[in-house]
C-alpha cells in the first residue's frame, strides 16, 4: 500500500519578501511531532542563512491542525511574514471536523518533505512482524489499540485501510488520536497502545536505538510513499 505524507508550508499572502525583520511559523500541533520538527528546522535554516534574525515557532495543537489553521487565517490575513506548516493530515481533519476554514484560505508556497509512513511497536511487544499485528487485529480488532495523529487524518485512514485489507470492519478499529507526535511517542514507549503509526521521521531516532527495552522497534518495513503534489 502506498501512502503519502507531506509537510507543506503555507503563507497568508501570495508573495513573500526576500528579507524581513521577523517571521512567525505556526506548527498547528503539539511539540515533538513532524509539523513541529519541520517548523523548527525551517526556523534554524532561515536564521542561519540570514533570511531573518528573529524567527519564532508557535504551537497551536488540536483537531488535526484545523484550530491552528483557523487562528492563522484569522490573525494573519495579508501578513507576508506569517507562515504555517501543514500536510495531508489537515485535509482529512478539515472534512472530519467540518472546518469553515480550509486550505483555500491560505497560499501554498513550498513542499518541504515526503516520507515513509511507519508502524512501530514497543520493543518489549510480542508482535515482531506485520503478520503478527494483522493476526491480532483479525482475532480481536478492539484489543489492538493504534496510536497516531488526529482523527480523520492520514494515520487514521491508513489504519482503516489496513483493517479493510485484512478483512476487518474498519469501524471496529481502536484508534487513539493524539494532537502531536510527541504525545503519541510517549504512549508507545509507555506501552499504552499496541502499535503506533506516523511518519518515519517521528520514530527514526527511537527505532535506531531499538536495542534498549524502552524503545520501539519496527513492526514491519515501511512502504515507500508516493510523492504526488497536493
**Residue for grid cell 491560505:** 106
**pLDDT per position as a tens digit, 164-185:** 999 999 999 999 998 777 788 8
The confidence band for 17, taking pLDDT boundaries of 50, 70 and 90, is low
Q: In what order do the strands lie in the sheet with 82-87?
A: 54-59, 22-27, 82-87, 6-11, 107-114
* Selection from 128, 125, 88, 83 nearest residue 106 by Cα: 83
Domains parsed from the chain with CATH numbers: 6-114 (3.40.190), 117-218 (3.40.190.10)
pLDDT at 212 over 70: no
The confidence band for 7, taking pLDDT boundaries of 50, 70 and 90, is low
Give the percent of the chain with pLDDT over 70: 82
Backbone angles phi, psi at 176, to 5 degrees: -105, 110
More confident of the two residues 200 and 16: 200
Predicted TM-score (pTM) of the model is 0.68
pLDDT at 54 over 80: yes
Tell whether the torsion through CA atoms of 228, 182, 106 and 154 is positive or negative: positive
Tell whether the torsion through CA atoms of 70, 80, 11 and 182 is positive or negative: negative
pLDDT for the residue numbered 134:
94
With a CB cutoff of 8 Å and minimum separation 6, the contacts of 138 are: 166, 167, 168
Highest mean pLDDT among 164-173, 202-211, 213-222: 164-173
* Mean pLDDT score, 45-69: 94
Amino acid at each position: 500500500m502506498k501512502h503519502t505524507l507531506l509537510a507543506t508550508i503555507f503563507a497568508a499572502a501570495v508573495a513573500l519578501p526576500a528579507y524581513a525583520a521577523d517571521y512567525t511559523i505556526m506548527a498547528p500541533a503539539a511539540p515533538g511531532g513532524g509539523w513541529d520538527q519541520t517548523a523548527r528546522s525551517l526556523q534554524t535554516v532561515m536564521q542561519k542563512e540570514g533570511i531573518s534574525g528573529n524567527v519564532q515557532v508557535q504551537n497551536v495543537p488540536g483537531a488535526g491542525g484545523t484550530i491552528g489553521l483557523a487562528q492563522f487565517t484569522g490573525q494573519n490575513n495579508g501578513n507576508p511574514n506569517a507562515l504555517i506548516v501543514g500536510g495531508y493530515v489537515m485535509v482529512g481533519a478539515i472534512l472530519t471536523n467540518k472546518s469553515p476554514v480550509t486550505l483555500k484560505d491560505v497560499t501554498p508556497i513550498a513542499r518541504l518533505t515526503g516520507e515513509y509512513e511507519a508502524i512501530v511497536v514497543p520493543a518489549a511487544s510480542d508482535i515482531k512482524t506485520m503478520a503478527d499485528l494483522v493476526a491480532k487485529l483479525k482475532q480481536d480488532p478492539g484489543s489492538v489499540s493504534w496510536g497516531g495523529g488526529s482523527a480523520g487524518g492520514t494515520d487514521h485512514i491508513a489504519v482503516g485501510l489496513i483493517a479493510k485489507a485484512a478483512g476487518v470492519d474498519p469501524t471496529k478499529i481502536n484508534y487513539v488520536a493524539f494532537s502531536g507526535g510527541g504525545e503519541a511517542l510517549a504512549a508507545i514507549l509507555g506501552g499504552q497502545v499496541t502499535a503506533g503509526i506516523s511518519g518515519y521521521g517521528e520514530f527514526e531516532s527511537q527505532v535506531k536505538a531499538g536495542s534498549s527495552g524502552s524503545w520501539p522497534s519496527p513492526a514491519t518495513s515501511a512502504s515507500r510513499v508516493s510523492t504526488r503534489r497536493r
